Structure 1
Amino acid sequence: MANSNRAFARHTHDQFGIGIVLRGGQTSTSGRGLVEAVAGDLITVNPGEVHDGIPLNADGRSWSMLYFDCNLILDHFGDLAEGRSYDELHFPVLRDDRASSLFLHLKDALTDAGSVTGMAAQSLLIELLHCLVSAVPSEKTTAVPLAVERAKARIDDCPVGEYSLGKLAAQSALSRFQFLRAFRRLTGLTPHAYILQKRVHLARRLIGSGVGLAEVSAASGFADQSHMTRAFAARYGISPGSFAAAIA
């Protein structure tokens, strides 16, 4: 996170940059024209794109940016293609509540995971990129592919299995974005959120049957007991320990 009233001269970055203005605002002359961004707006920059940044007033502005290697973003652009070709972020400023929310959740996920390799972070990045390359994101109402229903059934049968967005998509003969979108249409959740939900449900059943918390966390597919506690409390409003004590 940065906080400054400094005016930045024209410069470039070697990576794709996606960020959000948290306070104040700025004007910027970029390769895509003169734009103005204020608190809540997403801001983007493409590799090699010349841009600057001038605060709107003496109070300056604060913002948060994430930078991504070119190959990572271009790889995800391939998932989003569906008959179109993408090679850059089209909007230097985007005023979209959903996109802003996705960015903030992605930032939190990266803070926890440290990279964009986890299913949660990867899913959030794909959805965010979809917002950034589509003027008016829209989805046709279509039937959910049978392969996605089968993927859901595999998760239902074994929520503790090792899953990744890439493998689930490949097994369904879909791109990661196509799989993510179809799975959300089927369940109302991303694959990562759905798997966590199933694991929490399993943990609740095991606790209810008297299994110890340390054993429950391992048997439910969580990395450790603290991970289980966070997921459990987020969904039930109480910790696994409190739940176990309440039903004892």
Structure 2
Amino acid sequence: MHANETSKYWRHPCFPDLGLFKARFTKHRYELHTHPTYVIALITSGCERIRIGRHSVVAPAGTIAVVNPEEWHDGEQGADEGWAYRTFYPSVPLMTAVARELGWDGAPVFSHAIIEDGGLAAALAAAHEGSTSQDATQAEASLLVALRHLIVRHGDWDGLAEEVESSGSRQRFSLYQNLVESELGSQLDLQRLADAARVTRFQVIRDFKKLIGLTPAAYIRDRRRRRASTLIEQGLGLAEAAIAAGFADQSHLSRTFRVAHGMTPGMFRRGG
């Protein structure tokens, strides 16, 4: 981390399945990655440039960037001074529960990656700051107020944009996913993926590019980070989690974790 960069991660006192992150970055650049949770980022100063799915967007101070679960995204400075932000990582069950209390059925989806809404920005700032207060009731209320505003004003209840048209690609991708999840701790290469779907290695590359816009290697690296995160949350040591998730060692995990999440695995563990 550069001398003028800072970051902190913690859990909400009233919602254990909601992580919070506060950071200021100038040179840091996120690698493309996913989360099982939503990502709701209030840009508090500077500007961030983000690729979300297949689109590149710019998020200046005062705007909110929203990433749906499992959506590929990265992030880097969008201005010379970098950017600062306060981020929420609410789980799908939490967002689904809030949406149902509001009369909707199922998990909300957000089709606009960047939201300009002063009222929402103020509510998110209050909820983020309130998560560290001693008043648990106020912390809970301010978070629910912010999520209600986001879901009611900006949720897309028609669901995600159209499904990707495929001639077998989606069915094959399911096979790739199953193999990767079951064999993360072992050596994975293109030939193993190709054998699983009974196609050529070139077809594997085309399927990944068509469906998620990434290489198979980037996808596997992301899933290994995800597995390591889960193991760390469950109490496994960092070195053990690294090996179990398929990394060469703890330092390998630390390097890839930082470029994807803006924090070290140790920070993530302490924040949990």
Identify the TM-score tier after normalising by the shorter chain. Answer: 0.3 to 0.5
Which one has the largest radius of gyration? 1
For normalisation by structure 2, the TM-score amounts to 0.44
Task: Determine which structure has greater relative contact order: mean sequence separation of CA pairs < 8 Å that are 6+ residues apart, divided by chain length.
Answer: 2
For normalisation by structure 1, the TM-score amounts to 0.47
